[in-house]
Amino acid sequence: MDEIKQLVEAQREKLVALRRDFHRHPELAFQEQRTANIVEAQLRTAGLDEIRSGVGGYGVWGVLKGGKPGRTVLVRADIDGLPIEEQNEVDYRSENKGVMHACGHDGHTAIALTLAAILAERREEIPGIVKFAFQPAEELGAGAKPMLAAGILHEPEVDTVIGLHLWNNLQAGKLGICNGPIFAGADTVEITVKGKGGHGAQPHQTVDSLVVGAEIVVALQTLVSRECQPGETAIVTVGSFHAGSASNIISEEAKLALSVRSVKPETRQYLLRRIEEIAQGIAGAMRAKCEFSVRPGVPPVINDPTVADVLRRAALATLGADNVLDNFSTTVSDDMGYFLEAKPGCYFLMGSGNASGGQAFPHHHPRFDLDESCLAPAVEIMIRAIFELNQLEKIN
Ligand SMILES: [Zn+2]
Ligand SMILES: [Zn+2]
């Protein structure tokens, strides 16, 4: 067993215990006070050179200066939970009613803290600087921007950003990575159809907003299937449709909410323009009016090929060639996209699922759980990557 594996192995029990402690005490976005306090205390115990708390909410920022000259790498981990009542029967089950770590951010936080502790122990050997961003409010896509605004990428200036998401769609022991977009960008669209309400027995006196809304829902289904190039990442999901209050009342108004996902700016522009045209066109043809609004969401997460190559090598050394899946991406979104918009970097997916172990439920499910055997290799991959990234001659 090589030295890095041994270093991580020595921390394995603590790492799992830390993850279970976070799991037991999940906190919602912008309420991560306990989690942030533990992160801060752990970084102090590890002996980091600089620690700031309260960064953009309950964000925590750490700086570890290595003993040799080199570049500056930022490791980003998100710390928030979700408004879900946990249905698992494990002994580390959530103790906060209605709140749960159902996305794996408990694991991300434990991995980054363990990484900080191990690197701090061996700081004399580290070329350059390693910074840590423990980011709040990822589930709202709202925690990254305030941390960036607080200057996390400066003082000292960051050269590259890395991070991971544990991934139950992938078996523990495997890893997914790619050059270019690994997570999609997401926007929310709201459409309000305004008709003319009235008596359900006298439809001729009304403009039925519910029927107009239904036509719009159906028409939107052909936007991706008939207008986007096959293979291009594009998703239009009508996630909510509200109209009407009783069987004998024709609804004055119908409200639709959509999630629109893509990785290319031109695809995003096209989808948003066409959704509005389709909605307005159908509403107009059916004598209704239509209001359209876009709430811009997070950008896609785009990996730099040079940095991704370093992560790929670190993953191969840790997991073996059979377990590193290339050209692997997802249509889920993550506000890590803001970090990688600002600096070249890499986000990867660390398999954490295990059907036979009961960890087969998807993210955001009340029975979501991790196969904890994925935690230690994630730390190992990060250590290997950081040593190489800190010595890279040139990053794109
Ligand atoms: Zn999530
Ligand atoms: Zn997540």
Q: From ligand 2's centre to the CA of 393, what distance in Å?
A: 32
304 Rama class: left (phi>0) / alpha (psi -120 to 50) / beta: beta
Using the mean position of ligand 2's atoms as its centre, give its distance from the Cα of residue 108 in Å: 9
Percent of the chain with pLDDT over 70: 99
The residue annotated as part of the active site, out of 27, 40, 78, 80, is 80
Q: Which ligand is nearest to the CA of 78?
A: 2
Give me the pLDDT at residue 119, please: 98
pLDDT at 396: 62
Mean pLDDT computed over 327-344? 96
List CB-based neighbours of ion ligand 1 within 5 Å.
103
The neighbouring-strand residues paired with 294 are 189
| DSSP code string of 265-299 | HHHHHHHHHHHHHHHHHHHHHTT-EEEEEEE--PP
Find out whether 196 and 252 touch, Cβ atoms under 8 Å: yes
For residue 17, the tally of other CB atoms under 10 A from its CB is 11
Q: Output the CA 125–ligand 2 centroid distance in Å.
A: 32
For residue range 6-62, list pLDDT tens digits in order: 999 999 999 999 999 999 999 999 999 999 999 999 999 999 999 999 999 999 999
What is the reported pLDDT for 172? 97
Exactly one of 40, 86, 138, 369 is catalytic; which is it?
A: 138
pLDDT tens digit string along 61-119?
999 999 999 999 999 999 999 999 999 999 999 999 999 999 999 999 999 999 999 99
What architecture does CATH give domain 185-295?
A: 2-Layer Sandwich (3.30)
Of 356 and 314, more confident: 314
Superfamily holding 3-183+300-389: Zn peptidases (3.40.630.10)
pLDDT of 1 over the 80 cut:
no
395 has a pLDDT exceeding 80: no
Number of Cβ within 10 Å of residue 145's Cβ equals: 14
Q: pLDDT value at position 393?
A: 78
Active site residue 187: no
Tell me the CA–centroid distance for residue 103 and ligand 1, in Å.
Answer: 5
Task: Report the alpha-carbon angle 54-295-298, nearest 5.
Answer: 55
Active site residue 138: yes
Peptide bond preceding 300 in cis form (omega within 30 of 0): no
**What ranges do the domains of the chain cover?**
3-183+300-389, 185-295
Handedness of CA 198, 199, 204, 210 (dihedral sign): positive
pTM: 0.91
Say how far apart CA 376 and CA 13 lie, in whole Å: 9
Q: Render pLDDT for 276-296 as a digit per residue (tens, 0 to 9).
A: 999 999 999 999 999 999 999
